[in-house]
């Protein structure tokens, strides 16, 4: 890690032992892990990435109080989004008995915090069970802040959102970067400072709605933009093509159309898949066929990019000096529809440029393909890493400035 990358930010390494020992450290982690159908953790990368900071704090005798979110419970308690599986995995990885509260604010939580011994760890319940988190409500932030003496920000993957648990608490507590935040800043900062051309971005994933801002912002900034995943069908629909039963966000067809217009006048080469794998059902054993994008049969759904497209995308990636990838090309969780995603992972592994992959599901896909160690940097952030690479200052990082 270069020290220069984190100059200008306060980090926990600036604190000496006496500033941590016995102190209540309110630590924001990104523990938003992909879950399997049984509600268990299907990829624990983000939990693993939080361990170095946790160890650092525990070893120095801090009383660690973790804030984290899972999914989108929209301000109410959703039983399947409790952090209990995360508590278990954290306990295993730390070889410690990590405690857990059933809420993240209130009298009972404060009592549990007060009972912590030096070096103990308490995980607070999903902060998004309260509406105040995503709204960055100052009262909610103040309540959260009552659980700590200082705030450590290590949730790089959530740092692009100005929420109470990522930004608001810093109004009430001194804020420091954790070790993962430093690692992300160093790796991604190097690319922002001197991106080597050609620069290729690959964006996939389920929805247009979560990626459209990033897509627009990348126009003009990268040499090639490769688009895959479920969002493709909203673009095809915008062009008046038949998409069968594929995933479409009807309320995003207009923004998709504007993006396509904008793309025409951009120096960025925007590439969509030319062929697709369609299936008669959302099932690994479904009947599949490979079709051109203008020949999707009624009654089928597109679940992966086709082999021609995978090959074309792979060739662009292999010739790149900087490659940034967020969002799988298909439903990679089902092996039948993982080929397009795997082809991207393999092309990145074969590319000797600066390769960066980010996003919960994308990282899970790269792990599944066994290629994570062949990437230059595996980022815990999806949206966060892309916004950072666009040159934006993320609100959850701005609070760390000296
Ligand atoms: P990340 O977590 O890496 O940012 P996203 O959450 O945006 O990625 O998207 C990942 C999800 O997109 C996966 O669960 C995958 O199954 C889904 N997906 C990809 N292609 C399709 C498709 N054609 N139809 C439906 N879902 C898709
Ligand atoms: Mg995801």
Do residues 231 and 174 share a domain?
Answer: no
Is 214 contained in some domain?
A: yes
| Residue ID of nearest Cα to ligand 1 atom 22 | 230
Does position 391 have pLDDT exceeding 90, yes or no? Answer: no
Do residues 77 and 169 share a domain?
Answer: yes
The mean per-residue pLDDT over the stretch 342-364 comes to 95
Q: Name the domain boundary from 162, 181, 200.
A: 181
Do residues 95 and 22 share a domain?
Answer: yes
Is 402 contained in some domain?
A: no
Do residues 202 and 347 share a domain?
Answer: yes
Residue written as tokens 């995003």?
Answer: 252
Give the residue numbers spanning the domain of 249.
Answer: 189-389
Is 397 contained in some domain?
A: no
| Sequence-separated (6 or more) residues with CB below 8 Å from residue 46 | 29, 30, 31, 32, 33, 157, 360, 363, 380
Is 22 contained in some domain?
A: yes
Do residues 215 and 339 share a domain?
Answer: yes
Does position 61 have pLDDT exceeding 80, yes or no? Answer: yes
Atom of ligand 1 nearest to the CA of 229: 20
Percent above pLDDT 70 for the chain? 98
Tens digit of each residue's pLDDT (9 = 90 or more) over 311-334: 999 999 999 999 999 999 999 999
Do residues 168 and 199 share a domain?
Answer: no
Do residues 174 and 216 share a domain?
Answer: no
Residue of 353, 365, 364, 356 whose CA lies nearest to 384: 356
Q: Name the domain boundary from 134, 157, 181.
A: 181
Q: Is the CB of 206 under 6 A from ligand 1?
A: yes
Percent above pLDDT 90 for the chain? 89
Model pLDDT, residue 213: 87
Model pLDDT, residue 4: 44
Number of structural domains the chain divides into: 2
Is 106 contained in some domain?
A: yes
Q: Is the CB of 361 under 6 A from ligand 1?
A: yes
Q: What is the CATH number of the domain that holds 171?
A: 3.40.50.1260
Is 208 contained in some domain?
A: yes
383 is a catalytic site residue: yes
Model pLDDT, residue 6: 57
Cα of 14 vs centre of ligand 2, distance in Å, is 33
Atom of ligand 1 nearest to the CA of 360: 2
Do residues 122 and 267 share a domain?
Answer: no
The neighbouring-strand residues paired with 326 are 203
The larger pLDDT score, comparing residue 193 to residue 384, is at 384
The H or E element containing residue 180 is: helix 179-193
Mean pLDDT of the chain: 95
User: Ligand nearest 243 Cα, by number?
Assistant: 1
Q: Is the CB of 330 under 6 A from ligand 1?
A: yes
Cα of 16 vs centre of ligand 1, distance in Å, is 43
119 is a catalytic site residue: no
Tens digit of each residue's pLDDT (9 = 90 or more) over 110-126: 999 999 999 999 999 99
User: Ligand nearest 284 Cα, by number?
Assistant: 1
Atom of ligand 1 nearest to the CA of 362: 3
Do residues 119 and 145 share a domain?
Answer: yes
The mean per-residue pLDDT over the stretch 164-193 comes to 94
Is 396 contained in some domain?
A: no
Do residues 211 and 344 share a domain?
Answer: yes
Model pLDDT, residue 3: 42
Atom of ligand 1 nearest to the CA of 34: 2
Q: Is the CB of 327 under 6 A from ligand 1?
A: yes
Tokens standing for residue 277: 């794998």
Cα of 194 vs centre of ligand 1, distance in Å, is 30
Model pLDDT, residue 191: 84
Tens digit of each residue's pLDDT (9 = 90 or more) over 80-114: 999 999 999 999 999 999 999 999 999 999 999 99
pTM: 0.86
| Residue ID of nearest Cα to ligand 1 atom 7 | 205
The number of angstroms, rounded, from the C-alpha of 252 to the middle of its chain's C-alpha atoms is: 22
Do residues 128 and 42 share a domain?
Answer: yes
Does position 57 have pLDDT exceeding 70, yes or no? Answer: yes
Tokens standing for residue 251: 């309320």
Buried b (16+ CB within 10 A) or exposed e, 58-80: bebbbbbbbbbbbeebeeeeeee
Tens digit of each residue's pLDDT (9 = 90 or more) over 198-207: 999 999 999 8
Atom of ligand 1 nearest to the CA of 302: 23
Catalytic position from the list 205, 330, 358, 360: 360
Residue written as tokens 């000296």?
Answer: 402
**Structure confidence at residue 2 as a pLDDT band (50, 70, 90):** very low
Tens digit of each residue's pLDDT (9 = 90 or more) over 235-255: 999 999 999 999 999 999 999
321 is a catalytic site residue: no
Cα of 280 vs centre of ligand 1, distance in Å, is 18
Tens digit of each residue's pLDDT (9 = 90 or more) over 221-239: 999 999 999 999 999 999 9
What are the φ and ψ backbone dihedral angles of 227, each rounded to 5 degrees? -115, 130
Cα of 221 vs centre of ligand 2, distance in Å, is 24
Cα of 339 vs centre of ligand 1, distance in Å, is 14
Residue of 367, 355, 359 whose CA lies nearest to 383: 359
| Sequence-separated (6 or more) residues with CB below 8 Å from residue 177 | 6, 9, 10, 11, 12, 152, 153, 154, 185, 397, 400
| Residue ID of nearest Cα to ligand 1 atom 16 | 331
Catalytic position from the list 110, 207, 257, 321: 207
Does position 379 have pLDDT exceeding 50, yes or no? Answer: yes
Q: Using CA atoms, how far apart are residues 241 and 124, in angstroms rounded to an integer?
A: 47
| Residue ID of nearest Cα to ligand 1 atom 15 | 331
71 is a catalytic site residue: no
Q: Name the domain boundary from 128, 147, 181.
A: 181
Q: At what angle do helices 45-59 and 84-94 cross, to 10 degrees?
A: 60
The mean per-residue pLDDT over the stretch 158-170 comes to 97
Tens digit of each residue's pLDDT (9 = 90 or more) over 4-55: 445 789 999 999 999 999 999 999 999 999 888 888 999 999 999 999 999 9
The mean per-residue pLDDT over the stretch 146-172 comes to 97
User: Ligand nearest 205 Cα, by number?
Assistant: 1
Tens digit of each residue's pLDDT (9 = 90 or more) over 47-56: 999 999 999 9
Do residues 235 and 127 share a domain?
Answer: no
């Amino acid at each position: 890690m270069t020290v220069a990358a984190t100059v200008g930010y306060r980090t926990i390494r600036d604190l000496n032992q006496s500033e941590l020992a016995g102190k209540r450290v309110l630590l924001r982690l990104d523990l938003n892990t992909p879950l399997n159908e049984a509600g268990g953790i299907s990829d624990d990368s983000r939990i693993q990435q939080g361990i170095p900071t946790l160890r650092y704090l525990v070893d120095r005798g801090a009383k660690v109080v973790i804030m984290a979110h899972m999914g989108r419970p929209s301000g109410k308690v959703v039983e399947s989004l409790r952090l209990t599986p995360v508590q278990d995995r954290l306990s295993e990885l730390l070889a410690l008995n990590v405690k857990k509260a059933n809420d993240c604010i209130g009298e009972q939580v404060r009592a549990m915090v007060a009972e912590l011994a030096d070096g103990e760890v308490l995980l607070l319940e999903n902060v998004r069970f309260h509406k105040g988190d995503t709204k960055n409500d100052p009262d909610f932030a103040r309540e959260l802040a009552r659980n700590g003496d200082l705030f450590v920000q290590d949730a790089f993957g959530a740092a692009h959102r100005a929420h109470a648990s990522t930004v608001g608490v810093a109004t009430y507590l001194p804020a420091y970067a954790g070790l993962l935040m430093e690692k992300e800043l160093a790796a991604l900062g190097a690319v922002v400072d001197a991106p080597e051309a050609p620069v290729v971005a690959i964006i996939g994933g389920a929805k247009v709605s979560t990626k459209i801002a990033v897509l627009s912002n990348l126009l003009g900034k990268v040499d090639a933009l490769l688009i895959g995943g479920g969002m493709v069908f909203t673009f095809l629909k915008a062009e008046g093509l038949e998409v069968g039963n594929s995933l479409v966000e009807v309320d995003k067809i207009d923004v998709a159309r504007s993006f396509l217009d904008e793309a025409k006048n951009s120096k960025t080469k925007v590439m969509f898949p030319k062929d697709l794998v369609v299936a008669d059902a959302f099932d690994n054993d479904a009947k599949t066929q490979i079709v051109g994008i203008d020949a999707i049969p009624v009654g089928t759904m597109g679940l992966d990019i086709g082999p021609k497209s995978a090959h074309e995308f792979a060739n662009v990636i292999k010739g790149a000096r900087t490659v940034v990838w967020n969002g799988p090309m298909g439903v990679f969780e089902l092996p039948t529809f993982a080929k397009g995603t795997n082809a991207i992972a393999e092309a990145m592994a074969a590319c000797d440029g600066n390769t960066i992959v980010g996003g919960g599901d994308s990282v899970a896909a790269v792990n599944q393909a066994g290629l994570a160690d062949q990437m230059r940097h595996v980022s815990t952030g999806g949206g966060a890493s892309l916004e950072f690479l666009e040159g934006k200052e993320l609100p959850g990082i701005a609070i760390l400035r000296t």
